[in-house]
Amino acid sequence: MERNPILMSRTRTRTALLAALALVGGAAGTAVAADPDAVGTQAIPCTVDYKVQNQWDTGFTTSVTVTNNGAAKSSWAVKWSYAGNQRITNGWNARLTQSGTGVTAANETYNGTLATGGSVSFGFNASYSGTNALPTTFTLDGVTCNVDDGGGGTDPGGPGGPSGRVDNPYSGAKVYVNPEWRAKANAEPGGSRIAGQPTGVWLDRIAAINGVNGGMGLRAHLDEALRQKGSDELVVQLVIYNLPGRDCAALASNGELGPTEIDKYKTQYIDPIAAILADPKYAALRIVTTVEIDSLPNLVTNTGSRPTATPQCDVMKANGNYVKGVGYALNKLGDVANVYNYVDAGHHGWIGWDDNFGASANTFKEAATAEGATVNDVHGFITNTANYSALKENNFTINDNVAGKSVRESKWVDWNRYVDEQSFAQAFRNQLVSVGFNANIGMLIDTSRNGWGGSARPTGPGATTSVDTYVNGGRYDRRIHIGNWCNQSGAGLGERPQAAPAAGIDAYVWMKPPGESDGSSQAIDNDEGKGFDRMCDPTYTGNPRNGNSMSGALPNSPLSGHWFSAQFQELMRNAYPAL
């Protein structure tokens, strides 16, 4: 379960190759149109990959990647014009202005440097009516570029790309409903209201591949997915979760593999999963993998001289098996043409602080280029997996000031840069692109337990007596401390799964099946490798990771992954939007 260790439309890709212009070497650097027969023999000064990621009746989201093949630049401006009534409403990673149909995207202060052969990416939302015709001509600092004809640009899975992947697998697709979870939900009073929702299938040990205690194995789920698919598109969500030394900062969901068993992880866990997913029988499914929750951020936040460091996390950083394991999984699973890898990216209450934000992105890049993997094996990232961070906090913002103090100074926010999960996911996506991930990566947000509804949900800001009364009185997330992660009292179901709900977000998902425990409230003997973590004990008074606060956990909870009826009922009772 995600730890907190700090104290629907199809993609449209422009594929037409326009007449290229070559930059002829001369004192004035004049741009001269190239002879069409000579294209490919003279240098193309720049290329532009303009992609409509999502489109609906009145608007669209676009990503743009510009590659400079000319002299290095310390600042840049890209221009184009629309043939219709498109109007840009907001953007990121560039300063966007529009006059009539003409658009200018200029660098921000932090991304003005553009080396020879270097690329820069930015994106925006826009409105339109009628036809959303694609721009046909782009210039970089006045020099006309060609439009990338790669049929997918930087996206290895774009339409026409080598894998045939779509940009957002959730767009235009149904999502697999796990019949085992559906049966448990239906057996609960009132559970039929949500039993038809799609949830993740957790492959949390080697035995889960073939099925545990007579339950469904991976092939059984994929066969059922084909049945549910019919003639439609369908997404299957799998959680890849069995790293050596798993969950080094917690005990409730420690795994079966010891810190050094990387070869066993590769040959007995990842290789068999990859072989099954590669079966041509399942080629028509869109298979989304959530790759190894609760791993890589621990290498940033819980090692070395940090007060939250653990000996177990120091071991995993030293032996490199988290990085190797994630890299190996991305490489092997990424070789399957219909698999979409989303790497777990913690949540805002874990890596939203300045010390963790950039360092975590760099660690993800290290893992994504280990063991034969490349950034092209990463389709996106997922945040808030199995956690409780509120999707949006509407009653206060990070920029508010109360009684002479910034919201960042409140005990709850504690100098974090983000107050909710969606703003964090969108910002972290930009950070990931800036360190080298593809510009069209998408984010998933697990909303299975972050609704925080019910009678205790605030209806407005708190009192302005102090910054703490203001934040605490208005925040939806009612945990005692943002570091609490186990079976939280008062939590509710969040937004229902949906595709493309916001800019940069591929989907809201229920990756953690509601009603499955985060860990046991007392020690329970088991053969699943799961220990007893005091953070699941409602009497526990805490540690540095949760500010030495009470754990906020529900009593009488079973082992992680086991059905917890009392929690399921509480989640339904406190659902927001309400059931």
Q: Which two tokens stand for residue 215?
A: 């339950």
Positions annotated as catalytic residues are: 294, 518
Between helix 321-334 and helix 354-368 the angle, nearest 10°, is 50
Nearest to 481 by CA among 545, 526, 559, 401: 545
Residue 158 pLDDT more than 80?
A: no
For residues 217 and 569, give the distance between their C-alpha atoms in angstroms, rounded to a whole number: 27
Q: Where are the domains of the chain?
A: 12-34+43-147, 173-394+419-459+491-534+564-573
Give the architecture (CATH level 2) of 12-34+43-147.
Sandwich (2.60)
Q: In degrees rounded to 5, what are phi and psi of residue 401? A: -125, 135
| pLDDT value at 110 more than 90 | no
Q: Which pLDDT band holds residue 83 (cuts at 50, 70, 90)?
A: confident
- The arithmetic mean of pLDDT across residues 470-480, rounded, is 97
Determine the residue type at 435: V
Query: Coil, strand or helix: which one is 502?
Result: strand
Q: Could you read off the pLDDT of 221-244 as tens digits, one per residue?
A: 999 999 999 999 999 999 999 999
What fold is seen in the domain 173-394+419-459+491-534+564-573? Answer: TIM Barrel (3.20.20)
- Quote the pLDDT of residue 6: 41
Lowest average pLDDT, out of 25-29, 165-169, 259-263, goes to: 25-29
- 204: closest CA among 374, 1, 358? 1
State the burial class of residue 57 (Cβ atoms within 10 Å of its Cβ: 0-12, 13-18, 19+): exposed
- Please choose, from the candidates 480, 488, 496, the residue with its C-alpha nearest in 3D space to the C-alpha of residue 547: 480
Q: 433 by DSSP, 3-state: which?
A: helix
